Amino acid sequence: MARDPAVAGQFYPADKRALLRELEALIPDRPDKIDAIGAVVPHAGYVYSGSVAGEVYAELMPKSTYIILSPNHTGYGARFAAYREPWRMPLGPVDVDKYLLAAIMRNTGLIKEDPAAHVAEHSIEVQLPFIQKTAKAANIVPITVRYGNLPELREVADAIVSAVREADREAVIIASSDMTHYEPREVAKKKDQMAIQAVLDLDAEGLLNVVEENNISMCGYIPAVIMLMCANKMDAKEGKLVKYSDSGDVTGDTAGVVGYAGIIVY
């Protein structure tokens, strides 16, 4: 069964024309594109983090497949959960690359097909209009992640990299994540800088350690760790911080902000 939108009209416009207008405002014209292996992209409502996401997608060279790794905010479903059917969106359906997904799942028994993890989860859905606008014919591989130990994360990363190579896909791996949640701006910025530096250093274990040791409420750090593990196996050389902001830039309230970082790995 195709997945219906869960947050259209809340996180982004449900009307097609209004959504296109907003995307055009959020995605600048960047003629020079980066042939990225992966990226960290926020997933809040577009009014808050859309400008950061738009800057990232503006710089990404379009690919045929977007492997989107996201946290599981609802707690429902398998720890590593995939969704196989198309996603209905205001701009039209987005198809899943079933061949690549099947190849990934053959390479690891950790990832289960489980719609329950996806039905009400927003962190993949909010990425899709940006992908539809910048890579119109692209397919996706949507996987939510609740938690996993280091060997499991390595296994999932190995499965993804092997499958991409087996399928000979032009793919980019999106780690959907916001940064620190509801802390004073000064505290959030300091914590986020530590996590951002680990991503820029392409240090997957370093990111895992710095988030857990410093109690950084980066909701998608596990997806980001997997993305970095994949990137290292795919010979990534650099990371680029495209933009950082926080919710206080919109609300004016800096006493308890949510941080948003857009990072490209290539």
Nearest alpha carbon to residue 98 among 65, 73, 125:
65
- In this prediction, residue 98 carries a pLDDT of 98
Q: For 44-59, what is each residue's pLDDT tens digit?
A: 999 999 999 999 999 9
Residue 185, SS3? helix
pLDDT of residue 153: 98
| Confidence (pLDDT) at 185 | 98
Q: How confident is the model at residue 80 (pLDDT cuts 50, 70, 90)?
A: very high
> For the chain, what percent of residues have pLDDT higher than 90?
100
Beta-strand pair 139-145/111-113 = unpaired
Q: Using CA atoms, how far apart are residues 249 and 245, in angstroms rounded to an integer?
A: 7
| Three-state SS at 86 | coil
The pLDDT score that the predictor gives to residue 44 is 98
User: Cβ distance 207 to 195 under 8 Å?
Assistant: yes
Predicted pLDDT of residue 175: 99
Tens digit of each residue's pLDDT (9 = 90 or more) over 203-244: 999 999 999 999 999 999 999 999 999 999 999 999 999 999
In the chain, where are the structural domains located?
16-265
Give residue 7's pLDDT. 98
pTM attached to this predicted model = 0.97
- 239 forms bridges with which residues in the sheet? 265
CA-closest candidate to residue 86, choices 133, 41, 30, 128 = 128
User: Residues with Cβ < 8 Å from 140, sequence gap 6 or more?
Assistant: 65, 66, 67, 68, 87, 94, 95, 96, 97, 124, 128, 131
pLDDT in tens, 10-20: 999 999 999 99
List pLDDT tens digits, range 106-158. Answer: 999 999 999 999 999 999 999 999 999 999 999 999 999 999 999 999 999 99
**Among all chains, which residue has been given the structure tokens 């990371």?**
239
DSSP, res 123: T
Domain 16-265 of CATH type 3.90.70.10: no
Q: How confident is the model at residue 74 (pLDDT cuts 50, 70, 90)?
A: very high
Q: What is the pLDDT of residue 246?
A: 98
Give the pLDDT mean for 173-201.
Answer: 98
Residues 87-105 pLDDT 10s: 999 999 999 999 999 999 9
CA–CA dist 208, 203 (Å, integer): 9
pLDDT, mean over the chain: 98
